[in-house]
Chain A
Amino acid sequence: MHTLGSLFAVALTCAAAAGAAEKPAATQRNFVSCPIVRDTATVPCWLAEHDGELYYLGIQTDVSADFHPPFLGHRVLVEGALKDAPRICGGLVLEPVKVSPLAELDGTCNTILPAEDRYTVPFAPRPPGPSGGRLAFDPAPGAGPRTAPPPLEGPQEFVLYYDFDMLVGGRHSAVLSRIYDYASKQGAPHIVVTAYRGATLLSDGTLLVERDDLPQLRAREVAKLLQGAGLAPSAMLIDFVNELPTADGDGDWQARRAVVRVEP
């Protein structure tokens, strides 16, 4: 257990049972299974099998992508919507899709399928080796200057979304840096970190619920990281909400979050 000292005023919201629909909408595919890698002539694609059907999750690109492939050696929670599109790499396309590698190791998840001529990914933005000079999802040369976002002013909220049952990972460095940059410019702002846990309604009607200590751990961790980076707010408050949200199988991942409010 991490402790943060006396700076924190801790609030606790009691847990309550989640409301849930019986099953997600027919177009949703929410399930837990082993991820599968299929090699291609360029980058590999990622798949998962559920109820005898193969689903396409995404391809390997690089750290600029929204889709971060899962891990062999772990089962994965897939939360996706069936897209009316041709199969890719043999799988029905889920888009949008969120994948969460589950924490515990599972050595049975070890399938790498060989490349076959019939499976191609011509839309891959970069090859499996060196890039052409930019990351996969950076603007192309000549695309013109990026439109700078308007400068932030006043109270701002930043959101960290989590993989299922997980705490902060490397991909959170971007949003944490944005929080740090904005809060630093405010001098000594008030910062309130509020963390939640989520539940996902699987396609078979099962409700998958995150650990009940996660909201507290998430809130404390985010506050500790911001302080560890050197932020010196006038007050750092943490709040954690154990109450489970209503899960209907559509966008349930959005409940797995921490919200950081910076008040100048």
Chain B
Amino acid sequence: MRSPLLYTPIANDKRRAFIAAAAALAAAAFAAHSAEKPDAGAQWWPPGAGRTLPASTSYDNEHGQLGILNTAGAIDTRGHPFFEPIGTNGRACVTCHQPADAMSLAVDSIRARWEETGGRDPLFAAVDGQNCPHLPSDARASHSLLLDRGLIRVFLPWPPQRRDGSAIEPEFTLEVVRDPTGCNTHAEHGLTSPRPMVSVYRRPRPVANLKYVTAAEFGVGPFSLKDAQPAARDPATRKLVNMNMMADAREPTLTTQAVSAALTHLAMPAAPAAAVLERIVSFESQVYAAQSWHAQAGDLTAPGGPPALGPAALAAGRTSVLGNNTTAYVFPIGDVWRSLPRTGDAPHDAESAFRESVARGHDVFFLRTFWIKDAMHLNSVGLGNPVKRTCSTCHGMHMTGMDTANGWMDIGTTNLPWATETPVSPWAEKQPEMPLFKITCDKADAPHPFLGRVIYTQDPGRALITGRCNDVGTIVMQQFRGLAARAPYFSNGSARTLRELIDFYDRRFNIQYSDDEKQDLGNFLSTL
């Protein structure tokens, strides 16, 4: 049920005041939690559960608890299109955007669902819950990328198409080098099928804190700052959008994304009605997710604590703010945890020590410099290659750590030589999991400035939308909130833990983090 307040045409400043008040109330509710671990909600939301989603609730995870805040108040999910199986395969939006998993989908939840249902949960639908639809649905191996890395199959037309369906002439050719799922070479589903498709495998993104993800008041203009290509617009209003949604920025708005997801993931025969879309988008726009309690740091939302933590802080925060500065900060955590007294009480002192580690981890994120090199759409935008900067250079959006606009970059998560993959050898029992494509850029165009004319990639990323050589392997960066609830990380699920995520960066950019720095940074990330 929606709150009538949010559907009354009130002035924007009044709406902001209401949201701030709701956030304050929720903050008070969270603050009322003692250092004791609060009760958690039931973990899994099956489609059509018919439960009420409270205004604020918590869910257990490995590091503590995630808080979910719904600024519109409690929702009776009966009949709500986000929670009901509105397509033909039994799935709902909530299938892949679980409240307990920060409105994304943790691989632990996926495995538990497989065990509990014998693989019959709609999550494992053949269309994209399998490595390829032609595989036998009852075999675990058919779902290995979902079960092992949390990946959903994303199938896109090749060559790329504009929104009007016309073909884009790509600047490169695409060959399948390795096809462990069998999908890209399949006669019905592959690149040489009658309707040529590319299958790549990506993590579902969090459907929370979306006012930040969709805000377009900073760095958004008619032409992208990254490459001067025309920026996308809302097809309904013609307003510019920030292109920060989805790994490849292919959908401009929450509404168009909902239509696309309904037609593919939910197997709806036709686009949902406008009223249905409005309810989905309205819910998505009012839900906030962040870690609220930490097994070692205690209550993250207590009064006087770090101001960036917890979902209420997100609900109250400002959007379209560049935080890579000492006036706004990406994650303003203040100094309260920087130096804490010891009392001799072991649990208290352990909590204090952990909180100090979190503060140090913030500084590793914000202030620790390293050479960022060969990162397309970062080094190429005028900063030089390499550029001596910090994590917050790219992850600069206040409160989320996303890019403020047009956030696609290539840091090597999917492009060789940096992409993570099982090494092949005569002694290896495990085989490579991800597809591998060979991209050959047109000789008539300038080569990719950092990778040349021949690029090997597991996922061409935004290049599958634009057809541009320079976009190969570029992926829209994700928000940093609720990380503890939604492992694994990166668009291809290649980092199983926060430590593996940190290790990837350390390896990729030769940062030479000490073990202490890695520990502090991981602790910090686990509180977001």
- Give B442's nearest chain A residue, CB to CB: A1
- Give A65's nearest chain B residue, CB to CB: B382
Given the interface pairs A69-B384, A130-B366, the reply to whether A105 lies near B326 with Cβ below 8 Å is no
Residues of the A chain whose Cβ atoms lie less than 8 Å from the Cβ of B386: 37, 72, 112
B229 at the interface (CB under 8 A from A): yes
Smallest Cβ distance from A217 to chain B, in angstroms?
A: 9
In the complex, which range does the number of interface residues on chain A fall in? Answer: 35 or more
Q: Is the CB of A170 within 8 A of B449?
A: no
What is the CA–CA distance of A72 and B223 in the complex, to the nearest angstrom? 27
- Among B224, B329, B371, B384, the residue within 8 A (CB) of A70 is B384
Residues of the B chain whose Cβ atoms lie less than 8 Å from the Cβ of A72: 373, 385-386
Residues of the B chain whose Cβ atoms lie less than 8 Å from the Cβ of A69: 383-385, 387
Given the interface pairs A130-B366, A167-B446, A180-B223, the reply to whether A173 lies near B228 with Cβ below 8 Å is yes
Interface residue ranges of B381-419 to A (CB < 8 Å): 381-390, 392-393
Interface residue ranges of A204-243 to B (CB < 8 Å): 225, 228-230
Q: Is the CB of A71 within 8 A of B233?
A: no
Proximity string of chain A (145-172) to chain B, C-beta cutoff 8 Å, 1 when within and 0 when not: 0000000000000000000011111111
Residues of the A chain whose Cβ atoms lie less than 8 Å from the Cβ of B303: none
A74 at the interface (CB under 8 A from B): yes
- Among B222, B371, B382, B389, the residue within 8 A (CB) of A170 is B382
What is the CA–CA distance of A230 and B390 in the complex, to the nearest angstrom? 36
Residues of the B chain whose Cβ atoms lie less than 8 Å from the Cβ of A166: 446
What is the CA–CA distance of A229 and B452 in the complex, to the nearest angstrom? 28
A139 at the interface (CB under 8 A from B): no
Residues of the B chain whose Cβ atoms lie less than 8 Å from the Cβ of A44: 388
- Among A103, A104, A130, A169, the residue within 8 A (CB) of B325 is A130
A133 at the interface (CB under 8 A from B): yes
Interface residue ranges of A65-81 to B (CB < 8 Å): 65, 68-74
Residues of the B chain whose Cβ atoms lie less than 8 Å from the Cβ of A171: 228, 381-382
B444 at the interface (CB under 8 A from A): yes
Q: Is the CB of A225 within 8 A of B384?
A: no
Interface residue ranges of A171-187 to B (CB < 8 Å): 171-173, 176-177, 180-181
Given the interface pairs A176-B223, A225-B223, the reply to whether A130 lies near B382 with Cβ below 8 Å is no
Q: Is the CB of A229 within 8 A of B223?
A: yes
Smallest Cβ distance from A248 to chain B, in angstroms?
A: 27
Q: Is the CB of A225 within 8 A of B230?
A: yes
- Among A2, A130, A172, A176, the residue within 8 A (CB) of B367 is A130
Q: Is the CB of B369 within 8 A of A172?
A: no
What is the CA–CA distance of A78 and B446 in the complex, to the nearest angstrom? 19
Interface residue ranges of B196-229 to A (CB < 8 Å): 221-229
Smallest Cβ distance from B415 to chain A, in angstroms?
A: 15
What is the CA–CA distance of A67 and B229 in the complex, to the nearest angstrom? 22
Given the interface pairs A167-B446, A170-B228, the reply to whether A176 lies near B385 with Cβ below 8 Å is no
What is the CA–CA distance of A225 and B228 in the complex, to the nearest angstrom? 8
What is the CA–CA distance of A2 and B467 in the complex, to the nearest angstrom? 13
Proximity string of chain B (322-366) to chain A, C-beta cutoff 8 Å, 1 when within and 0 when not: 001111110000000000000000000000000000000000001
Q: Is the CB of B384 within 8 A of A60?
A: yes
What is the CA–CA distance of A44 and B371 in the complex, to the nearest angstrom? 10
Q: Which of A68, A70, A130, A225 has the most CB of B within 10 A?
A: A130
Smallest Cβ distance from B373 to chain A, in angstroms?
A: 7
- Among A103, A132, A177, the residue within 8 A (CB) of B327 is A132
Proximity string of chain B (60-104) to chain A, C-beta cutoff 8 Å, 1 when within and 0 when not: 000000000000000000000000000000000000000000000
Q: Is the CB of A129 within 8 A of B228?
A: no
Smallest Cβ distance from A101 to chain B, in angstroms?
A: 7
- Among B233, B324, B374, B379, the residue within 8 A (CB) of A130 is B324
Residues of the B chain whose Cβ atoms lie less than 8 Å from the Cβ of A71: 379-380, 384-385, 449-450
Q: Is the CB of B384 within 8 A of A128?
A: no
Smallest Cβ distance from B17 to chain A, in angstroms?
A: 27
What is the CA–CA distance of A74 and B226 in the complex, to the nearest angstrom? 20
Given the interface pairs A112-B371, A167-B446, the reply to whether A172 lies near B228 with Cβ below 8 Å is yes
What is the CA–CA distance of A101 and B382 in the complex, to the nearest angstrom? 11
Q: Is the CB of A229 within 8 A of B230?
A: yes
Proximity string of chain A (118-156) to chain B, C-beta cutoff 8 Å, 1 when within and 0 when not: 000000000011111110000000000000000000000
Residues of the B chain whose Cβ atoms lie less than 8 Å from the Cβ of A7: none
Q: Is the CB of B447 within 8 A of A132?
A: no
Q: Is the CB of B221 within 8 A of A177?
A: yes
Residues of the A chain whose Cβ atoms lie less than 8 Å from the Cβ of B392: 129-130
Given the interface pairs A105-B447, A128-B369, A225-B228, the reply to whether A68 lies near B390 with Cβ below 8 Å is no
A22 at the interface (CB under 8 A from B): no
Residues of the B chain whose Cβ atoms lie less than 8 Å from the Cβ of A225: 223, 228-230
- Give A42's nearest chain B residue, CB to CB: B388
Residues of the B chain whose Cβ atoms lie less than 8 Å from the Cβ of A60: 383-384, 387-388
What is the CA–CA distance of A68 and B371 in the complex, to the nearest angstrom? 16
Proximity string of chain B (443-460) to chain A, C-beta cutoff 8 Å, 1 when within and 0 when not: 010110110100000000
Residues of the B chain whose Cβ atoms lie less than 8 Å from the Cβ of A43: 388
Residues of the A chain whose Cβ atoms lie less than 8 Å from the Cβ of B20: none
Residues of the A chain whose Cβ atoms lie less than 8 Å from the Cβ of B221: 173, 177
B163 at the interface (CB under 8 A from A): no
A95 at the interface (CB under 8 A from B): no
Smallest Cβ distance from B391 to chain A, in angstroms?
A: 9
Smallest Cβ distance from B401 to chain A, in angstroms?
A: 13
Q: Is the CB of B222 within 8 A of A169?
A: no
- Give A224's nearest chain B residue, CB to CB: B230
- Among B233, B327, B381, the residue within 8 A (CB) of A230 is B233
Smallest Cβ distance from B132 to chain A, in angstroms?
A: 35
Proximity string of chain A (39-51) to chain B, C-beta cutoff 8 Å, 1 when within and 0 when not: 1000110100000
Residues of the B chain whose Cβ atoms lie less than 8 Å from the Cβ of A228: 229-230
B430 at the interface (CB under 8 A from A): no
Residues of the B chain whose Cβ atoms lie less than 8 Å from the Cβ of A176: 222-223, 228
B14 at the interface (CB under 8 A from A): no
Smallest Cβ distance from A116 to chain B, in angstroms?
A: 15
Q: Is the CB of B382 within 8 A of A177?
A: no
Interface residue ranges of B293-347 to A (CB < 8 Å): 324-329
B231 at the interface (CB under 8 A from A): yes
A4 at the interface (CB under 8 A from B): no
Identify the B interface with A (CB < 8 A). 169, 221-231, 233, 238, 324-329, 366-367, 369, 371, 373-374, 377, 379-390, 392-393, 444, 446-447, 449-450, 452
Provide a sorted-by-A list of 6 A–B residue pairs whose CB atoms are within 8 angstroms.
A69-B385, A101-B449, A105-B447, A171-B228, A180-B223, A229-B230
5 smallest A-B Cβ distances: which pairs?
A69-B384, A133-B327, A229-B230, A71-B385, A228-B230
13 other A-B residue contacts (CB within 8 Å) besides A62-B383, A71-B380, A166-B446? A68-B383, A71-B450, A73-B385, A103-B446, A105-B447, A128-B369, A128-B390, A130-B392, A132-B327, A171-B381, A177-B223, A229-B231, A230-B238
